[in-house]
């Protein structure tokens, strides 16, 4: 042995977790090479396919990721599905360390009758549809009803409510896909309920998103004052964000519109509201059994206080009429490869500080590490922690860099033998430029290409 070689590190997934892990390793190790593998031709995960189109400022992190990708010690290989095109074992052979950052690509299901009726969609699929995620591009959600019900009280639920109710002119200048914009233009939806099993003190959305909804032009919030009685007192000593959020809901619920404003409100065509302590039991079909016409809800009471309060059915039921149901009860990670331990109960890879339990040299970061919660900043911090573990293991000799590894040299030939052609970062930059050019005429930041075949054609694959 000649002493240590340059460490070659592999990252699986090009969302925030993948890019922040790569960034931290490259910044704190002068010799490391980091290769990022991504299933889709295009990078950035939920920053491209999750973050709402009317929140472009959130997507500025793409500039940082692009800077990382352009480093001469970083390479991007899109169009490579790990677990199918290449196994984790093969990656481990080729790299000194492998970091799994492949996010949460499925959603939790309610497991109640009627969930497969037409008119019922997961929030994940609906968001994927309006954001141009290839697998959801043909969703064609039926927006011909007046009332939509969103199950869930998180920011994703509010994103969807906002997209359903926003004035079209707000959306026209965003990177929402052309085809979903056209569908929203024909939409008849004018009332959106967001229902949750627990109460106002347990909502998971944040104040910025709530305020945006309250201030959405042409819409009126409908909150039942009775849901908020006594809450002012209950949040007196709560942490500040919870306190301010609750106070905003109370203020909105109790605000008596002045007469003139009330008259203006009568003309307001669209409404949204929060329904609490309702747990869905069954999706009710239309008489011909083809589509959803409503949801049977069990009313609940709360046992316990604060975040840990449990919703217990009271025995009373209620039917809520709606022609569109979007279930927004959470994303879910899937196991990638039999070689990787997976905690099916919590939907995460078991780990300690990002080191995968029982598998030296294997790491994880992001949603697949901590579960599908938290904003980009949370994901950044936990990815930095994982990167730190990798750096410590390089320094402490846990990772044996005395044996040189071929990295993409080895993986590239395996992929070639399987007929897989990776997409490079400069290929992505061509796709990016084409999207920006297509959007320009319509005044949009970009028109996303939703068909992977078309992306590949564009770069001459």
Q: Of residues 77, 126, 130, 367, which one binds ligand FAD by CB under 6 A?
A: 367
Number of residues that bind ligand FAD (CB under 6 A): 35
The region of 101-109, 221-229, 254-262, 395-403 touching ligand FAD under the rule CB under 6 A is 101-109
Backbone angles phi, psi at 406, to 5 degrees: -80, -20
Does position 31 interact with ligand FAD (CB under 6 A)? The reply is no
Q: Which of residues 7-26 bind ligand FAD (CB under 6 A)?
A: 12-18
Does position 249 interact with ligand FAD (CB under 6 A)? The reply is no
Quick one: 181 or 309, whose CB is closer to ligand FAD? Answer: 181
SS3 state at 400: coil
Q: How far apart are the first and last CA of the chain?
A: 41
Instruction: Work out how close the CB of 432 gets to ligand FAD at its nearest, in angstroms, rounded to a whole number.
Output: 15
Alpha-helical runs (H) found in 318-451: 367-370, 376-395, 408-417, 425-440
- Per-residue contact string for residues 433-452; x = within reach of ligand FAD by CB under 6 A: --------------------
Task: Report the distance separating Cα 294 and Cα 297, nearest Å.
Answer: 9
Does position 105 interact with ligand FAD (CB under 6 A)? The reply is yes
Does position 45 interact with ligand FAD (CB under 6 A)? The reply is yes
Quick one: 33 or 101, whose CB is closer to ligand FAD? Answer: 101
Residue with tokens 């359903």: 164
Instruction: Work out how close the CB of 83 gets to ligand FAD at its nearest, in angstroms, rounded to a whole number.
Output: 5
> Is-contact 130 237, C-beta < 8 A?
no
Does position 375 interact with ligand FAD (CB under 6 A)? The reply is yes
Instruction: Work out how close the CB of 321 gets to ligand FAD at its nearest, in angstroms, rounded to a whole number.
Output: 26
Instruction: Work out how close the CB of 162 gets to ligand FAD at its nearest, in angstroms, rounded to a whole number.
Output: 11
Residue 302 CB contacts under 8 Å (≥ 6 apart), including other chains: 198, 199, 202, 277, 309, 310, 311, 312
CB atoms within 10 A of CB 456: 17
Q: Which of residues 55-84 bind ligand FAD (CB under 6 A)?
A: 55, 58, 81-83
Q: Which of residues 149-188 bind ligand FAD (CB under 6 A)?
A: 156, 159
DSSP code at position 399? S
Does position 371 interact with ligand FAD (CB under 6 A)? The reply is no
Give the closest residue to 161 by CA, choosing from 187, 135, 197, 132: 187
Quick one: 99 or 145, whose CB is closer to ligand FAD? Answer: 99
Give the closest residue to 43 by CA, choosing from 425, 387, 459: 425
SS3 state at 327: strand
Q: Of residues 10, 32, 51, 75, which one binds ligand FAD by CB under 6 A?
A: 51
Residue with tokens 């627990």: 198
Quick one: 131 or 277, whose CB is closer to ligand FAD? Answer: 131
Burial class (CB in 10 A: 0-12, 13-18, 19+), 427: buried
SS3 state at 335: coil
SS3 state at 414: helix
Does position 336 interact with ligand FAD (CB under 6 A)? The reply is yes
Report the interface residues with ligand FAD, using CB under 6 A: 12-18, 37-40, 45-46, 50-51, 55, 58, 81-83, 101-103, 105, 127, 156, 159, 331, 336, 366-367, 374-376, 379
């Amino acid at each position: 042995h000649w002493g240590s070689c340059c460490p070659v590190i592999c990252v699986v997934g090009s969302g925030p977790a993948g890019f922040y892990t790569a960034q931290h390793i490259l910044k704190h190790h002068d010799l490391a090479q980091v290769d990022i593998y991504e299933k889709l031709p295009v990078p950035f995960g939920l920053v491209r396919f999750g973050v709402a189109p009317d929140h472009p400022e959130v997507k500025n992190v793409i500039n940082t990721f692009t800077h990382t990708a352009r480093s001469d010690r970083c390479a991007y290989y899109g169009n490579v599905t790990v677990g199918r095109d290449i196994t984790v074992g093969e990656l481990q052979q080729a790299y000194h360390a492998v970091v799994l950052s492949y996010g949460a690509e499925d959603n939790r299901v309610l497991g109640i009758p009627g969930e497969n009726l037409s008119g019922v969609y997961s929030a994940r699929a609906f968001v994927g549809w309006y954001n141009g995620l290839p697998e959801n591009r043909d969703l064609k959600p039926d927006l011909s009803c007046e009332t939509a019900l969103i199950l869930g009280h998180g920011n994703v639920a509010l994103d969807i409510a906002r997209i359903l109710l926003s004035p079209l002119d707000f959306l026209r200048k965003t990177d929402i896909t052309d085809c979903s914009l056209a569908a929203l233009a024909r939409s008849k939806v004018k009332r959106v309920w967001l229902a949750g099993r627990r109460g106002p003190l347990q909502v998971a959305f944040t104040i910025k998103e709530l305020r945006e909804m309250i201030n959405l032009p042409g819409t009126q919030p409908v909150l039942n004052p009775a849901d908020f009685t006594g809450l002012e007192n209950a949040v007196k000593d709560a942490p500040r964000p919870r306190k301010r959020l609750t106070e905003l809901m109370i203020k909105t619920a109790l605000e008596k519109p002045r007469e003139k404003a009330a008259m203006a409100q009568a003309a307001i065509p669209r409404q949204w509201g929060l329904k609490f302590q309702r747990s869905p039991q069954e999706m009710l079909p239309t008489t011909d059994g083809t589509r959803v016409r409503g949801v049977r809800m069990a009313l609940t009471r709360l046992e316990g206080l604060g975040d840990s309060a449990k919703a217990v059915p009271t025995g009373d039921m209620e039917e809520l009429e709606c022609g569109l149901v979007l279930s927004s009860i959470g994303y879910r990670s899937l196991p990638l490869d039999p070689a990787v331990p997976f905690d099916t109960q919590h939907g995460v890879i078991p780990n300690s500080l990002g080191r995968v339990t029982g598998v030296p040299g294997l790491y994880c970061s992001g949603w697949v590490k901590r579960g599908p919660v938290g904003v980009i900043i949370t994901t950044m911090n936990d990815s930095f922690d994982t990167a730190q573990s990798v750096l410590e293991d390089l320094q402490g000799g846990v990772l044996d860099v005395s044996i040189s590894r071929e990295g993409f040299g080895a993986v590239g030939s395996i992929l070639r033998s399987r007929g897989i052609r990776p997409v490079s970062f400069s290929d992505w930059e061509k796709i990016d430029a084409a999207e920006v050019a297509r959007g320009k005429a319509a005044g949009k930041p970009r028109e996303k290409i939703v068909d992977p075949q078309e992306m590949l054609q564009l770069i001459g694959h």
